[in-house]
Amino acid sequence: MTECRRVLDGAEALRGGDLDRLGDLMGQSHRSSRDDYEVSIEELDVLQEAAARADGCYGARLTGAGFGGCVTAITSEDAADHVRERTAVAFERRFGRRPEIHTCRVGDGADVVEARQDASAPQR
């Protein structure tokens, strides 16, 4: 039930632009997944903790199926490189290899589009 509540609270935080609150909820979610459901692994915990502690990161949590999935972190655009490097260094220091880290930007989301029929396409 706590994760369901966090999802609703996270949606409210997003609507209100409260990224600090969203980040806090992400951290709670990670800890719950790790402690209550035991679906994390040490590598994900190191990535999550390093990202969440880096300046400019609002929060981070494991995502995917767990047991070796990935970590998602929310940062300001200006801090993305810093958070990525701090996270990679912490991981490499602990495990002796660099993690694969991808930077993504949020798009406009789902939208309704109108399909236009190509005049050269066969008519059906």
52 located within any domain: yes
Within a domain: 14: yes
pTM, 2 dp:
0.84
Q: For tokens 């692994």, what's the residue?
A: 41
The pLDDT, as a whole number, for residue 65 is 74
Number of domains in the chain: 1
Task: Please check the confidence at residue 36 and state whether its pLDDT lies above 90.
Answer: yes
What does the pLDDT look like over 50-97, one tens digit per residue? 999 999 999 999 998 767 789 999 999 999 999 999 999 999 999 999
What CATH number does the domain containing 87 carry?
3.30.70.890
Structural domain of residue 51, as residue ranges? 2-95
**Does 124 fall in a domain?**
no
Q: Residue 35 domain-assigned? A: yes
The answer as to whether 100 is a domain residue is no
pLDDT tens-digit map of 17-32: 999 999 999 999 999 9
For helices 42-53 and 80-95, give the axis angle rounded to 10 degrees: 140
pLDDT for 68: 77
Closest listed residue to residue 58, CA positions, set 41, 79, 87: 79
